[in-house]
Structure 1
Amino acid sequence: MAIETLATARPDSTPEAGPITAAWLGRVDYREALALQKRLVADRADGRIGDRLLLLEHPRVLTLGRTSDPKHILADEATLAARGIEVIRVERGGEVTYHGPGQLVAYPIIALSPRGLLVRPLVRALEAALIATCAAHGVTAARRDGHPGCWCEPDGADPRKIGALGLRIERGVSYHGIALNVSVDLADFELIDPCGMPGVRSTSIAAERGERGTRPTTESVQRVAATFATAFAAELGAPLAEA
């Protein structure tokens, strides 16, 4: 579904809790996706639409949260420019995050109050959906205490981050969200301290399955997106609809 179609869709007839409407958007520029989120947050807060789950991937970009320390970007501007990687500061929590082809990004536009949610339970639901999605695609993952997101062998000698998480709440509605590495080029993560944690190694579903030669593809991300949408809606006990 095209972004403008989603942004200007007819208001839902029952915009309270209701179903979560998931939309696969394909590859979308980061700033364009952020502008869409903000429009949908306003529409959700004003009761014009129901809850949304945007599913997509981005071109290469680094994002810094409100209090992120730029020192966790390890590459200089010339290196980033040579790889076509832009740096953007945004309003979410968390540290530096990489987005790129082969990575699922999911943005939940969820009104917390109608679902009886607080921020922490929403975070836990997103983490649980990440873990369930990994499991459905043959990868064992789990939470890591004190570190939001999703990890492989979080308590082992070699913990590897496979999913990142950062949210913002405005007018009682969530936006930003999660990033799950599906078939992403892991070499790009060497340009940063993922989530501001020096020495942390990133991984992907493809890498954990021993498919290290896999090229990033939008098709692989779309398959995983469907799994995540189902898992997330189940965690919130909500029906899932498609835009």
Structure 2
Amino acid sequence: MDTLASFSIEGERKLGKPGIYIGSSPASGKHAGSKIAALGLKVSRGCTYHGVCLNVKMDLASYAAINACGDAKLKSVDMSTVGASAQSQEVAQQLASELIRRLGGVCHRS
């Protein structure tokens, strides 16, 4: 959400639903409640797998054919659609900086 905020996009969590959604304030307009980011985690046989998805600028047409998170009413959106003119590399650098800032003191190597 901090990465989105750095590009003037309001993000919010929804209780009981994974991901980050466009904020519900009137400024978010017709995209309020649309999913813009996700984090996936899996633990299997003692190994952890993870992934991060932040929709920057993409063709969202394929999302119309799926029920994201099992919710037929849930819409997906990208940063470009909600007004951000940032390029993917710029967003990736900002996201990496935020992750390092938040997790840097938490991660330890054995």
| TM-score band w.r.t. shorter chain | 0.7 to 0.9
Aligned 8 A contact 2:8 2:84 in 1: no
Matched residue, 2:42: 168
* Residue 224 of structure 1 pairs with residue 91 of structure 2: yes
Unaligned runs of 5+ in 1: 1-130, 212-218
Matches within 5 A, 1:51-200: 131-153=1-23, 158-170=32-44, 173-200=47-74
Aligned 8 A contact 2:3 2:95 in 1: yes
The whole-number CA distance in structure 1 between the counterparts of 2:6 and 2:84 is: 16
Q: Give the 3 Å change call, closer, same or farther, for CA 204–167 of structure 1 in structure 2.
A: same
Matched residue, 1:207: 81
Give the letter aligned to residue 167 of structure 1: L
* Residue 237 of structure 1 pairs with residue 104 of structure 2: yes
Unaligned runs of 5+ in 2: none
Aligned 8 A contact 1:153 1:159 in 2: yes
Give the deviation of 1:145 after TM superposition: 0.7
Q: Give the 3 Å change call, closer, same or farther, for CA 210–221 of structure 1 in structure 2.
A: closer
Give the letter aligned to residue 229 of structure 1: A
Q: Give the 3 Å change call, closer, same or farther, for CA 154–144 of structure 1 in structure 2.
A: farther
Give the deviation of 1:173 after TM superposition: 4.7
Deviation above 2 Å: which 4+ runs of structure 1?
153-158, 169-174
Structure with larger Rg: 1
Q: Give the 3 Å change call, closer, same or farther, for CA 152–238 of structure 1 in structure 2.
A: same
Identity, % of aligned positions? 32
Aligned to 1:201, the other structure's residue is in SS state coil
Higher mean alpha-carbon deviation, 154-163 vs 144-153, is at 154-163
Q: Please, what is the CA RMSD of the aligned residues?
A: 2.6
Q: Give the 3 Å change call, closer, same or farther, for CA 238–202 of structure 1 in structure 2.
A: same
Q: Give the 3 Å change call, closer, same or farther, for CA 172–227 of structure 1 in structure 2.
A: farther
The whole-number CA distance in structure 2 between the counterparts of 1:231 and 1:170 is: 27
Paired residues in the alignment total 102
Give the deviation of 1:155 after TM superposition: 8.3
Aligned to 1:183, the other structure's residue is in SS state coil
